[in-house]
Amino acid sequence: MSGGGGPSLMDSLFQRTLDDLIKGIRLHLPGAAQSSFISKSLDEIRREIKSTDSQTKSTALQKLTYLHSLHGIDMSWAAFHAVELTSSPSFLHKKTGYLAASLSFRPSMDVLLLLTNQLRKDLSSTNQHEASLALECLSVICTPDFARDLTPDIFTLLSSGKNSIRKKAIACLLMVFSQYPDAVRVCFKRLVDNLESADNVQTLAATVGVFCELASKEPRSYIPLAPEFYRILVDSRNNWVLIKVLKIFAHLAKLEPRLAKKVVELICDHMKQSEAKSLVFECVRTIVSSFYEYEFAVKLAVVKIREFLLDSDLNLRYLGLQGLLLVAPNHLWAVLENKEVVIKSLSDVDRNIKLEALRLVMSMVSDDNVVEICRVLIGYALKSDPEFCNEILRSMLSTCYRNVYEIIIDFDWYVSLLAEMARIPHCQNGEEIEFQLIDIGMRVKAVRPELVRVGRGLLIDPALLGSPFIHRILSAAAWVSGEYVKFSRNPFEIMEALLQPRTNLLPPSIRSVYIHSTFKVLSFFLHSFLLPGKGVNSSLSNFVDIEPGFTYSESEQEFTEIDHATSSSGLNKRDTFTQEAVVNMLTLVITSLTPLAESHDVEIQERVRNVLGLAQLAQQEISCNHDQKEKMVDKVDLKTSIIIRLINDALSEDFGPVSFSAQERVPVPNGLVLEENLSKLDSLCADVQLSISESFSLVKPILLPTDGDSISNQQNEEESETSPAESMSLLAEHRKRHGLFYLPSDHNKNASSSFPPANDPNQRDNDVEDLVKLTEESLVLKRKPSSSRPRPVVVKLDEGERLPITVKKTDENDDLISGAVRDVLLGNEASLRSSNPSGRRKGESHSKDKVENSETGNLSKRRSKHRNHGKNVEDKEENSEKSKKKSGGRHKARRRADGGIDVAVQKQVIPDFLL
């Protein structure tokens, strides 16, 4: 006798209690000691939990629950024991079991099936505390199976006489509906009944809470209930309830303007009278987000917002700013009215408030005030801590870039602003500035002289080379100076800047951009010297022909004149291309670059050798010429001249932005299988790819989507797409790997839809910026560009360049729920249309009936059958619903007629539902 009971008795006598465990954990220092203590305790628990004594088991489970919820220890292995304890007759053990279940159970666990019967038993228990344990547990771990099997029990509890049970059952419904939409057909009517019975505030609050959540997902179905909600809005004095009802109306009013008209004054009354800030704020939010057409209401709301803004409570100030942000899209005046407060909030102590203020400031930006606002913001950026400083810069950059620099009129100013940003000590937005400098260079021809001037300023400053954050910007400056060197007043100076000793601080990828720019500058210089009045001039005059009358033409004409003039006018400029200067430059190039010819970096090495080759050739010939002193005659026939002419021809071609659909327009030749041989390449290169793409600099790195979902979507897309699209993605892939060889203009920001990761705006920068973008987009898009002002041409490509609109996919489940709700509501009220053909409904109710009855029979087999059946019906209904919506008003009359029959059929059926 003692042999069998011995160990378990010993266990229970000397078992560590929960207190012992907690004290033990607190005694051991965090780290190795503590975790070894925990694992020792776990071993004990494993032994104790198998005990036949339910007290021992319960204590063990309680300890395990503690470890699970506060130390993240896995307890899925003990799930069975938790189920066991829920069926204990002792309330203590039952409670422990349920606590463990609700904290640790997952929908995927097999053991859940074992809990169904116990839940049912407890739900129908006469002890309300047992029922509430079961309801609480169900509200957390509800699965489709639970929801389906327990719907009848919850239905019963919905009209329980005990309020504490009824409200819990109501709150539970939300979970049940989301797991098993068919439950709507059973329980919805009673849920509505609870809305009408105003005897208990708590049940009403719970009911309104459920409707609030449901309506936030798919509001349309709940419009028929508007009279009920209206009554609550009028009668209720409970702020919790009112806040939820306001939320519901915020959703409904968007769909039904007549409703809005009816409630708007009521909401204003609440706003005026209420003492509770939470309710006032909810009124404000409801008005400005859904009732913004009612001027008087908005005015009142803005008054309240202003009160919030001027309050000493930081929370209210924060909410005030949020309210303004909501008003901004439709009533910008409200923001402008409170401009000072907003600007002042930029230097608040709380970072969150600063961010809100920044968003608001950005929402005010338009083409009229962008200069002014940016000036203010730069001032704040200089004063702020590094983190917020970068936040400001980022918002400015993204706002100005929006819709391809829509709000920028004076590009000369904007380019110098970019340079100014680069010089802000904490600037970490090098990548974005780099991108925009190059992008503007390619898109806006008129700004190139200024761009070169700005680029020179950046390049020439040796101090900037020391800061790694600015390297990317310098890379852009170097590229711009090389590419548009013809606008430079002093190419020699640029050459010096590009070759200054401190460039050895640059990473190789950027250094190679520098070296390539020296190549361009050198060839321009030689060309101007050897072939004056030829290629460069013609290209320049072409330029003028294309875009006459812009700011740059002044400086250009200067050049043209100089080059044409053989006499001594403009001596200084002429001097630029003297023989001496050329020789000096060649010496400079050769002496500075020769050491790099042995560089370990291939990019640098290759480019250096190119430059050196040209320089050495030119040096030989030109210094020979120098002796003969016949330069003017022979220059044209030199070998160098021929080469230079060729190089210059190659370089003189203008880079422009490339449309992302360009590749798609190229037809795939017959018989060419694009996937062949290449598909394997992808998997082979997968590892290498990342590291390679990092080392190139000119193209913005493509951010891969972080969640597995979109990756798989992308894969699916790639698999299913036809060959042109396939080639697009391969191209993009290639571009990613060999970024440097592509024009920086094919910026991934503007990608077309065929390469999802690159064009998703959400993945570009951090959340805040996106939010700023979002809030503003709606504001600025509506503004008409003031066409009267001269604005340089900004090259835009076809619509493919624009960011694609992401389509929001609604949850399938929500559709199912709202479909069912509509059926129930419309069917019962008989006043509106019903969309179900009557025959189908009959079948439906039939199956429902069986589910109800199956309670008693052997469950599992039939259950799955019915479930499938139900699902199918749902699906079909969905389809029919949709197709009807599409077909519009034509069938309205017929639908009405259908509705009549429908209701008749339903009336026969309903009693079965309602027990």
Partner 1 sequence: MIHFVLLISRQGKVRLTKWYSPYSQKERSKVIRELSGMILSRGPKLCNFVEWRGFKVVYKRYASLYFCMCINQEDNELEVLEIIHHYVEILDRYFGSVCELDLIFNFHKAYYILDEVLIAGELQESSKKTVARLVATQDSLVEAAKEEANSISNIIAQATK
What would the DSSP string read from start to end of 495-515?
HHHHH-GGGGGS-HHHHHHHH
Asked if residue 135 binds partner 1 (CB under 8 A), the reply is yes
Minimum distance from residue 733 beta carbon to partner 1 (Å): 30
- The amino acid at 84: E
d(CA 451, CA 412): 7
Of the candidate spans 197-205, 361-369, 471-479, 623-631, the one that interacts with partner 1 by CB under 8 A turns out to be 197-205
Question: Where does this chain touch partner 1 (CB under 8 A) — which range of 4-12, 117-125, 328-336, 805-813?
Answer: 4-12
Using CB under 8 A as the binding rule, whether residue 179 contacts partner 1 is answered as no
Estimate the crossing angle of helix 144-157 against helix 128-141, to 10 degrees: 150
Give the amino acid at 855: E
Contact between 664 and partner 1 per CB under 8 A: no
Q: Which of 409, 411, 435 is nearest to 422 (CA)?
A: 435
Is 541 among the residues that bind partner 1 (CB under 8 A)? no
**Three-state DSSP state, 200:** coil
By CB under 8 A, the count of residues binding partner 1 is 73
400 lies in the binding site for partner 1 (CB under 8 A): no
Nearer to partner 1 among residue 170 and residue 464 (C-beta): 170
Q: Which is nearer to partner 1, 351 or 896 (CB)?
A: 351
CB of 782 vs partner 1, minimal distance in Å: 23
Q: Is 197 in the site for partner 1 (CB under 8 A)?
A: no
Q: Which of 34, 50, 136, 901 binds partner 1 (CB under 8 A)?
A: 136
Determine, following the binding rule CB under 8 A, whether residue 201 of this chain makes contact with partner 1: yes
The answer to whether 443 touches 795, Cβ cutoff 8 Å, is yes
Q: Give the gyration radius of the chain's Cα atoms.
A: 37
Q: Which stretch binds partner 1 (CB under 8 A): 66-74, 568-576, 718-726, 892-900?
A: 66-74
In DSSP notation, 52-121 reads S-HHHHHHHHHHHHHHHHHH----GGGHHHHHHHHT-SSHHHHHHHHHHHHHH--TT-TTHHHHHHHHHH
- Mark 97-126 with x for binding to partner 1 (rule: CB under 8 A) and - for no binding: --x---x--xx-------------------
Q: Which of 314, 376, 690, 781 binds partner 1 (CB under 8 A)?
A: 314
Position 240 contacts partner 1 (CB under 8 A): yes
For partner 1, give the closer residue by CB, 60 or 699: 60
Give yes or no for a contact between 214 and 247, defined as CB atoms under 8 angstroms apart.
no
Nearest 5°: the CA angle 431, 435, 440 is 150
Q: Is 140 in the site for partner 1 (CB under 8 A)?
A: yes
Stretch that binds partner 1, among 59-67, 226-234, 579-587, 728-736 (CB under 8 A): 59-67
- Which of 148, 185, 247, 456 binds partner 1 (CB under 8 A)? It is 247
User: Dihedral (C-alpha) 604, 605, 606, 608: value to the nearest 10 degrees?
Assistant: 80
Q: Which of 576, 551, 543 is nearest to 562 (CA)?
A: 576
Residue 790 and residue 787: Cα distance in Å, rounded? 8
**Which range touches partner 1 (CB under 8 A), out of 3-11, 614-622, 726-734, 898-906?**
3-11
| Cβ 768 to partner 1 shortest distance, Å | 8
Instruction: Please count the other Cβ atoms lying within 10 Å of the Cβ belonging to residue 755.
Output: 23
Q: How far is the CB of 810 from partner 1 (least distance, A)?
A: 16
Which amino acid belongs to residue 360? L
Of the candidate residues 27, 70, 376, 624, the single one contacting partner 1 (CB under 8 A):
70
**Separation between Cα atoms, residue 523 and residue 482, nearest integer Å:** 10
Site membership for partner 1, residue 19 (CB under 8 A): yes
- Runs of H (alpha helix) within 504-638: 508-530, 535-546, 552-564, 571-576, 579-593, 602-628, 631-634
Q: Does 384 bind partner 1 (CB under 8 A)?
A: no
What's the residue count for the chain? 915
Whole-angstrom Cα distance, residue 406 to residue 395?
A: 15
Binders of partner 1 among 724-783, rule CB under 8 A?
767
Establish if 1 lies at the interface with partner 1 (CB under 8 A).
yes
Q: What is the footprint of partner 1 within residues 152-171 (CB under 8 A)?
A: 164, 167-168, 171
| CB closer to partner 1, 291 vs 484 | 291
Q: How far is the CB of 139 from partner 1 (least distance, A)?
A: 4
318 to 337: interface string for partner 1, x by CB under 8 A: xx------------------
DSSP assignments along 814-851, one per residue: HHHHHHHHHHHHHHHH-SS---S-HHHHHHHHHHHHHH
Tell me which amino acid residue 49 is: I
Please state, in angstroms and rounded to a whole number, the distance separating the CA atoms of residues 178 and 813.
6
DSSP string over 372-431? HHHHHHHHHHHHS-HHHHHHHHHHHHHHHHHHHHTT---HHHHHHHHHHHHHSTT---HH
Q: Does residue 129 belong to the site contacting partner 1 (CB under 8 A)? A: yes
Collapse the DSSP code of 146 into the 3-class scheme (helix H, G, I; strand E, B; otherwise coil) and give the result.
Answer: helix
Site pattern 339..378 for partner 1 (x: CB under 8 A): ----------xxxxx-x-----------------------
Among 887, 762, 747, CA closest to 432: 747
Closer CB to partner 1, 279 or 909, in the complex: 279
Tell whether residue 636 is a contact of partner 1 (CB under 8 A). Answer: no
Report the residue number, 94 or 700, with the smaller CB distance to partner 1.
94
Between 621 and 777, whose beta carbon lies closer to partner 1? 777
- Per CB under 8 A, the list member of 174, 458, 497, 526 interacting with partner 1 is 174
609 part of the interface to partner 1, by CB under 8 A: no
Is residue 9 a contact point for partner 1 (CB under 8 A)? yes
In 10 A of CB 578, how many CB atoms? Answer: 11
- 151 is a site residue for partner 1 (CB under 8 A): no
Asked if 217 is part of the footprint of partner 1 (rule: CB under 8 A), the reply reads no
- Is residue 277 involved in binding partner 1 (CB under 8 A)? yes
Nearer to partner 1, 241 or 506 (CB): 241
| Sites for partner 1 among residues 279-298 (CB under 8 A) | 281-282, 285
Which H or E run includes 133? Answer: helix 128-141
What is the closest distance, in whole angstroms, from the C-beta atom of residue 336 to partner 1 in the complex? Answer: 24
Residue 175 engages partner 1 in binding (rule: CB under 8 A): yes
Tokens of 863: 């259950």
Find the part of the chain contacting partner 1 (CB under 8 A) among 64-72, 117-125, 378-386, 420-428: 64-72
Q: What are the tokens at 42?
A: 């776990």
255 near partner 1, rule: CB under 8 A? no
- 62, 429, 847, 854: residue in contact with partner 1 (rule CB under 8 A): 62
Range in contact with partner 1 (rule: CB under 8 A) among 14-22, 330-338, 782-790, 817-825 = 14-22
N- to C-terminal Cα distance for the chain? 52
Q: Residue 205, interface with partner 1 (CB under 8 A)? A: yes
Of the candidate spans 58-66, 662-670, 693-701, 851-859, the one that interacts with partner 1 by CB under 8 A turns out to be 58-66
Q: With binding defined as CB under 8 A, does residue 278 bind partner 1?
A: yes
C-alpha span between 689 and 696 (Å, rounded): 11
